[in-house]
Structure 1
Amino acid sequence: MNWGHKIIIVFVVFAAGLLTLVTKSMRTRIDMVTPDYYSEELKYQQVIDGKQNAGALSTPVIIAQADNTIAVTFPRELHQRELTGKVTFYRPSDSGKDVDLSLQPDNDGQQLISKQLLTKGQYKIKVQWTMDNKPFYQEQLINIY
C-alpha cells in the first residue's frame, strides 16, 4: 500500500468519527434548569427575602426520609398557623421527574410525602411558603433511596 492510500484511509476514518460525534451530540437531550428561567430570575429577590425570613426562625425546616415517606417538619412557631406554598422536588438530571406538591402540613407542622411519587436518585427539595404575607424559602439536597 502506498502513501496515497494511507492518506485517504486517514481522511475516511476522520470523517466517520466526526459524523459519529455529530450524530451523538444531536441525539443528546439537554434540559434547561427551568424552561422559563428569565422570569424565574426576575423573581429571585423573593427567594433571597424568603431565605432571610426562614433563617430568622428558631429552627430550620427539617426534611427527613424514612422507609416509605419523606417528612417535612416545620418549626414549633409555625404549628397551627396558616401556611400557603409548595414543596418542589427538583431533579437536576431529568426535568421530567420533577414533582410539585402543595403545602399541607398537619396540626403538628408536619407533611408526609410518599416516596412512590419519586424515583431513586438526587433531588433538591425546595420549600416555599407564605405566612402573614411574608415569603419563606428553604432548600436542601437529598438522595432518595
Structure 2
Amino acid sequence: MKINWGTGIVLAFIAFISFILYFVFRMSTDDRANHDLVTEEYYKKELAYQEEIDASKTASEKGAIIKVEKSEKGITLFFPEQFDPKKITGKVSLYRPSNKHLDVDFPISLSKTHLLIPDNRLVDGRWDIIVKWNYEGSTFLHKEKLVY
C-alpha cells in the first residue's frame, strides 16, 4: 500500500490530535496535579485584604515586629517586649502551599513574650506563617515565609 502526501498529512493531524486529547485527559484525572484554589474562600479573603494592609501598617508604625526563629524544638515566635503578654490575643496560622491538609491554626495565649509551636506538627518544606494579633484594641499582622 502506497501512502501519498495527502494521506500522510491527515495521519499526522490525527496522531497530533490524539496525543493532545490523551495529554488533556491524563492531566485532568491525575491526583498529583491538584487544581484547587489556593484557599477555600478565595474571593471573601480578597475583600478583607485592605484590613490586612492596615494591620501590617499599624504593626510597623507601633514597632510591633515579631521575630520568628526555628530550632530543634519547633518554631518560636518572639513578641515585642513592650507589650504585656497577658493582654495579647489572636491566632497563628501555619499555611502549607503544597498541601492544604497540613494547614493548622493556633490560638495565642501567652504568659511570657514568646510562643513555641512544637516540631511534631511541622513537616519539612515551605510554610507561610500568618500571625494576626490584638493588643488593647489595636490589630497587628505579621506574615513570613519559612522553610523548615
TM-score bracket for this pair, using the shorter chain length? 0.7 to 0.9
- The residue that corresponds to 1:21 in the other structure is 23
- The residue that corresponds to 2:87 in the other structure is 82
Give the 3 Å change call, closer, same or farther, for CA 81–105 of structure 1 in structure 2: closer
* 2-structure distance, mates of 1:135, 1:21: 49
Q: How does 1:84-103 map to 2 (within 5 A)?
A: 84-103=89-108
TM-score (norm 2): 0.85
**CA RMSD in angstroms, aligned pairs only:** 1.9
Using the TM superposition, give the Cα deviation of residue 74 of structure 1 relative to its aligned residue in structure 2, in angstroms: 0.2
Using the TM superposition, give the Cα deviation of residue 140 of structure 1 relative to its aligned residue in structure 2, in angstroms: 0.6
* 1-structure distance, mates of 2:51, 2:136: 15
Which ranges of structure 1 fall in alignment gaps of 5 or more residues? none
| Identical aligned residues as a percent | 28
Deviates more, 1:5-14 or 1:76-85: 5-14
* 1-structure distance, mates of 2:91, 2:68: 14
- The residue that corresponds to 1:32 in the other structure is 37
Q: Which structure would you say has the larger RCO, counting Cα contacts within 8 Å and 6 or more residues apart?
A: 1
Give yes or no for the alignment of 1:142 onto 2:143. no
TM-score (norm 1): 0.86
Using the TM superposition, give the Cα deviation of residue 9 of structure 1 relative to its aligned residue in structure 2, in angstroms: 3.4
Structure 1 residue corresponding to 2:109, chosen from 104, 108, 132 = 104
Deviates more, 1:90-99 or 1:123-132: 90-99
Equivalent position SS for 1:103:
strand
* 2-structure distance, mates of 1:69, 1:8: 62
- The residue that corresponds to 2:136 in the other structure is 132
Give yes or no for the alignment of 1:41 onto 2:55. no
Using the TM superposition, give the Cα deviation of residue 51 of structure 1 relative to its aligned residue in structure 2, in angstroms: 0.5
Give the 3 Å change call, closer, same or farther, for CA 29–80 of structure 1 in structure 2: closer
The one-letter code of the counterpart of 1:131 is Y
Preserved contact between residue 87 and residue 135 of structure 2 (Cα < 8 Å): yes
Deviations 1:14-43 (A, max 9, x none): 132112221133123113122112221222
